[in-house]
Amino acid sequence: MEICTIMVLWVFGYGSLVWNPGFDFDEKVIGFIRDYRRVFDLACIDHRGTPENPARTLTLEPKEGSICWGAAFCIRGGPEREREAMEYLERRECEYDQKTIMNFYEDEDSLEPTLTGVVVFTSTFDKVLNKYYLGPAPLEQMAGQIATASGPCGNNRDYLFRLEKALFDIGHEDDMVIELANEVRNILGKVGKGLILKEKKNLIGPMTHLPFMSFISGVQVHQLAETAAVAMDS
């Protein structure tokens, strides 16, 4: 009798994978991992930043007692589908130098995991060993960097604002993400108001629009062609 083994791969997303997985999957489950928290300590120089002005994107920091909500994606169907998904993710998540196997949970009151052996892209917390690791920084410094960085996939602030919305949509907001997003809005609001006042002085005839107002609400400013570049967003 021939025995058929069904291959199953689970990948946990805690950043842009939550709203933009970019690969074919068979199932999506909302849940969390234990003893880790999000931090904006990783540089992105090819998606939403450049080598000269790197973006700040997410990685995970061990923190006992913390939980990090996100989404687990399942790929079924054998080694070929698994290989295609992992090749795509490794290109997309090229700043992450580790793949960590973790347990995944759905119920905060239970210590029994829903899934085991879930793949999570993580980083080495060492600036020598990991060239993409920026390390922590004060809130205002991080917000200033996020407010100004941009790259082929768009600007850094939209990554943050979309993350904030995605976590709201799944019903599990992150206080750190909200605080950082509000600080970025504060910075962009000040810049926007200054530019608006300057523009008003030079206007001839009625004002038809207010430049940079979309910064304040977090709506994307740059109209980019969202094709393969968006699919490779990190």
Residue with tokens 């907001």: 173
Task: Calculate mean pLDDT across residues 84-113.
Answer: 94
Catalytic residues, by residue number, are 93
User: What is the C-alpha separation between 105 and 85, in angstroms, rounded?
Assistant: 22
Would you say residue 168 has pLDDT above 50? yes
Percent of the chain with pLDDT over 70: 78
**What is the H or E stretch that residue 186 is in?**
helix 175-202
Sequence length of the chain is 234
Structure tokens at 9: 């791969």
What is the pLDDT, as a whole number, of residue 192? 54
Would you say residue 19 has pLDDT above 60? yes
User: What is the C-alpha separation between 126 and 101, in angstroms, rounded?
Assistant: 20
Task: Calculate mean pLDDT across residues 189-196.
Answer: 57
Would you say residue 221 has pLDDT above 70? no
User: What is the C-alpha separation between 93 and 146, in angstroms, rounded?
Assistant: 19
What is the pLDDT, as a whole number, of residue 78? 87
Would you say residue 94 has pLDDT above 50? yes
